[in-house]
Amino acid sequence: MGGGLRLENHPWWTPADAAEFALLTHELVRTGWIHREQCSICRERGQACAAMRDAYAAVEEWKRGAILRAQAAHLRARADLKEWTVA
C-alpha cells in the first residue's frame, strides 16, 4: 500500500480502526490475486491495470475517510469528557 498517511502520527487511530483496515487490505490482496489470474495486463506486464489501480485508490480513500472519522470521534469524546468533568 502507498505511504503518505503515517498512522503513528494519529493517536486517535485505534486498534479497532487498524483491524478494519487490515481486513480491507486483506480483501484487496485476496481479490487482487483472483483478478490477476484473469487479467492479461496485470499478469503479463507485471503491473496493476487501471481496474486494480482504481481498487487501490478506493482503499486509500477509505483510509483517508476512516482517519478523519476516527479523529472527529476522538475529539468529540475528549470535548464531551472535558464538559462533564468541568461541570
Instruction: Indicate the residue among 2 and 15 with the shorter CB distance to Zn ion.
Output: 2
C-alpha cell at 29: 490482496
Distance CA 52, CA 35 (A): 8
Q: Using CB under 5 A as the criterion, which residues of the chain lie in contact with Zn ion when the complex forms? A: 39, 41-42, 49, 52
Task: Specify the residue, 24 or 48, whose C-beta has the smaller distance to Zn ion.
Answer: 48
Minimum CB separation of residue 36 from Zn ion in Å reads: 7
Question: Is residue 59 within 8 Å of 28, Cβ to Cβ?
Answer: yes
CB nearer to Zn ion: pick between 20 and 60 = 60
